[in-house]
């Protein structure tokens, strides 16, 4: 029975090493997508071609810096 347990544990350890690498790669990909989406939101927030109130509200909801006042 002890031999079976050791073989089982070795198999699980091997699977964990493989899955850990795959999960880390998946998390890094998800983080890259999230960063790209935040960059798009920031670009929208600071684009004066869009409604200032909408941009300000979006910045507040996302916890990002609000757009600077436009020069007159």
Question: For 12-47, how does the pLDDT look when each residue is reduced to its tens digit (9 = 90+)?
Answer: 888 877 777 788 888 999 999 999 999 999 999 999
Whole-number pLDDT of residue 51:
94
Structural domain boundaries, residue 14: 2-62
* 8 has pLDDT over 70: yes
Neighbouring C-beta atoms of residue 36, cutoff 10 Å:
10
Looking at the chain, the number of H-run helices and the number of E-run strands are: 2, 0
Looking at residue 64, the DSSP 8-state letter turns out to be: -
Decide if 67 is inside a domain: no
Decide if 37 is inside a domain: yes
Question: What Cα–Cα distance (Å) separates residue 61 from each residue in 16, 23, 32?
Answer: 39, 30, 21
Higher-scoring residue by pLDDT: 32, 71? 32
Whole-number pLDDT of residue 1:
52
The count of structural domains within the chain is 1
């Amino acid at each position: 029975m002890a031999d079976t347990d050791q073989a089982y544990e070795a198999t699980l350890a091997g699977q964990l090493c493989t899955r850990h690498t795959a999960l880390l790669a998946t998390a890094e990909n998800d983080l890259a997508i999230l960063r790209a989406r935040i960059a798009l939101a920031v670009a929208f927030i600071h684009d004066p071609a869009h409604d200032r109130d909408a941009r300000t509200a979006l910045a507040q909801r996302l916890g990002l810096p609000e757009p600077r006042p436009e020069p007159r």
